[in-house]
C-alpha cells in the first residue's frame, strides 16, 4: 500500500496516511469486514465540503493494515486564540485486544492533537458498553482508555444506543421475528394503497421538508437543507445510499434514506409529513429499506439510534 510513513519505520506499528480512496477502503476491509459508515472515505470528503479537514491515518503490522482512524479537524476560536477541534467519528477501527497496537494508536492520535494545537480530540469507537452484551474487546478498550488518560465525554455526538438487525437470514425469517403489530402495520400500509419507490433527485427537497416537519414534531435539531441535499445526493450517486419516498394518491407522505458501506446498512434518516400518518407509511418504508440492504448483501442493519430506556419520557421515545 502507498502513503507517507509518519512514525518511526522501525516501530512495530508504523503510522502512515492513506494515499487514495482505494487505499483507504482496502485497508479498512483488512481491519474490519464491516467498517463503520462514518469512517468511509466518502464521509470525510462530504464533511470536507462543510468545514472539516479529514486525515486518514493507518497503522500497519507486517505490511498489512491493522488500525485506521479518519480524523476530522476544524478551526475553532476559544478565549481569543486560534485553535482546532478534532473528532474521529465511530473510530478508531482496530482490535482493542491488541494492547501494543491500541496504545500506539492512542498515543499517535494524542500527538496529532498536540501538533494541531487542538483544544480537544474526541474519539468515538463503535463499542458495546452495556451488559450483558459487553465483551472482551470492550473490557480491553475501557482499560486502555482509562489508563491512557481518556475521559468519557458528557457531550455525545452520535447516538449512545442503537438496534442492529441481523441480515444473514432470509427476509421472511427476519419478518417473522418482528412483533405482530409491526407486521400488521406493514400490511396495513400496503392495503391502504401506500406505494414506496426510490426517490429521484428532484424529490429530495420534498424529503427534506418532511424531515423538517418530523424534527419540529418530535423536538430534535436538524441542519440546513443544503447539508442534507449534499449528503443524500452525493452518497446516492456513489451507490452508497438509497433515498426512498412513500406516496399516497400520488402525494408524498413519508420518506427514508438508508446508507450502505461494505457489509453494514444504516437507516440514518426517516421522515413523515403530517397527513396520512394513520396509513403507517414508515413501516412499509422500513421494510423496503431492509429489502434494499439485504439485496446488496449487507449482513447487518443499524437502526441508528434508540432510546436509553423504554419509558415514554425518554427524549428519543417515538423518534
Per domain, the residue ranges of the chain are 15-147, 164-302
What would the pLDDT profile of 43-57 be if each residue is shown by its tens digit?
999 999 999 999 999
Q: Is the pLDDT of residue 148 over 70?
A: yes
Please give the C-alpha separations between residue 252 and each of 57, 208, 267, 301, in angstroms, as whole numbers.
Answer: 43, 12, 19, 25
Domain 15-147 has CATH 3.90.470.20: no
What would the pLDDT profile of 218-271 be if each residue is shown by its tens digit?
999 999 999 999 999 999 999 999 999 999 999 999 999 999 999 999 999 999
| Residue percentage of the chain with pLDDT more than 70 | 90
C-beta of residue 221 within 8 angstroms of C-beta of residue 309: no
d(CA 118, CA 303): 32
Q: What angle do CA 277, 282, 287 make, to 5 degrees?
A: 150
What would the pLDDT profile of 156-186 be if each residue is shown by its tens digit?
788 778 899 999 999 999 999 999 999 999 9
Q: Is the pLDDT of residue 315 over 60?
A: no
Query: Phi then psi for 35, rounded to 5 degrees?
Result: -70, 155
Query: Phi then psi for 263, rounded to 5 degrees?
Result: -100, 5
pLDDT score of 255: 98
Q: Do domains 15-147 and 164-302 have the same CATH topology?
A: yes
Q: Is the pLDDT of residue 125 over 70?
A: yes
Which CATH number applies to 164-302: 3.40.630.30, 3.40.50.720, 3.40.50.1000, 3.30.360.10?
A: 3.40.630.30
Beta strand spans in 139-280 (E)? 164-166, 195-198, 241-248, 251-261, 264-272
pLDDT score of 313: 42
Q: Is the pLDDT of residue 86 over 90?
A: yes
What would the pLDDT profile of 184-194 be if each residue is shown by its tens digit?
999 999 999 99
C-beta of residue 28 within 8 angstroms of C-beta of residue 228: no
- 207, three cell numbers: 424529503
pLDDT score of 124: 92
pLDDT score of 319: 39
Mean pLDDT over each residue of the chain, to the nearest integer: 90
d(CA 271, CA 60): 42
Q: Is the pLDDT of residue 127 over 90?
A: no
| Residue percentage of the chain with pLDDT more than 90 | 76
pTM of the predicted protein model: 0.88
Give me the numbers of helices (H) and strands (E) for the chain, helices first please. 9, 12
Q: Exposure string (b/e) for 9-20, b if CB count within 10 Å is 16 or more?
A: eeeebbbbebee
Q: Is the pLDDT of residue 283 over 80?
A: yes
Q: Is the pLDDT of residue 310 over 50?
A: no
What would the pLDDT profile of 24-79 be if each residue is shown by its tens digit?
999 999 999 999 999 999 999 999 999 999 999 999 999 899 999 999 999 977 66
Amino acid at each position: 500500500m502507498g502513503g507517507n510513513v509518519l512514525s518511526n519505520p522501525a516501530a512495530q506499528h508504523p503510522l502512515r496516511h492513506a494515499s487514495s480512496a482505494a487505499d483507504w477502503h482496502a485497508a479498512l476491509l483488512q481491519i474490519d469486514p464491516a467498517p463503520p459508515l462514518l469512517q468511509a472515505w466518502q464521509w470525510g470528503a462530504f464533511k470536507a465540503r462543510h468545514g472539516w479537514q479529514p486525515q486518514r491515518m493507518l497503522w500497519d503490522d507486517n505490511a498489512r493494515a491493522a488500525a485506521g482512524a479518519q480524523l476530522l479537524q476544524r478551526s475553532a476560536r476559544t478565549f481569543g486564540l486560534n485553535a482546532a477541534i478534532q473528532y474521529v467519528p465511530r473510530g478508531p477501527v482496530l482490535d482493542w485486544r491488541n494492547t501494543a497496537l491500541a496504545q500506539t494508536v492512542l498515543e499517535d492520535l494524542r500527538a496529532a492533537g498536540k501538533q494541531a494545537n487542538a483544544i480537544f480530540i474526541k474519539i468515538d469507537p463503535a463499542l458495546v458498553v452495556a451488559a450483558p452484551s459487553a465483551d472482551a474487546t470492550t473490557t480491553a478498550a475501557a482499560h486502555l482508555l482509562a489508563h491512557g488518560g481518556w475521559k468519557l465525554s458528557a457531550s455525545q455526538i452520535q447516538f449512545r444506543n442503537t438496534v442492529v438487525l441481523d441480515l444473514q437470514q432470509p427476509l421472511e425469517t427476519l419478518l417473522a421475528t418482528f412483533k405482530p403489530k409491526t407486521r400488521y402495520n406493514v400490511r396495513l400500509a400496503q392495503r391502504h394503497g401506500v406505494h414506496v419507490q426510490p426517490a429521484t433527485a428532484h424529490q429530495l427537497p420534498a424529503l427534506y421538508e418532511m424531515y423538517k416537519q418530523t424534527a419540529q414534531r418530535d423536538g430534535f435539531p436538524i441542519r440546513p437543507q443544503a447539508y442534507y441535499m449534499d449528503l443524500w445526493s452525493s452518497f446516492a450517486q456513489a451507490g452508497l445510499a438509497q433515498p426512498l419516498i412513500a406516496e399516497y394518491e400520488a402525494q408524498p407522505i413519508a420518506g427514508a434514506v438508508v446508507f450502505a458501506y461494505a457489509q453494514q446498512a444504516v437507516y440514518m434518516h426517516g421522515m413523515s409529513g403530517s397527513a396520512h400518518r394513520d396509513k403507517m407509511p414508515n413501516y412499509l418504508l422500513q421494510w423496503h429499506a431492509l429489502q434494499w440492504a439485504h439485496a446488496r448483501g449487507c449482513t447487518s442493519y443499524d437502526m441508528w439510534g434508540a432510546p436509553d430506556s423504554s419509558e415514554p419520557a425518554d427524549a428519543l421515545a417515538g423518534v
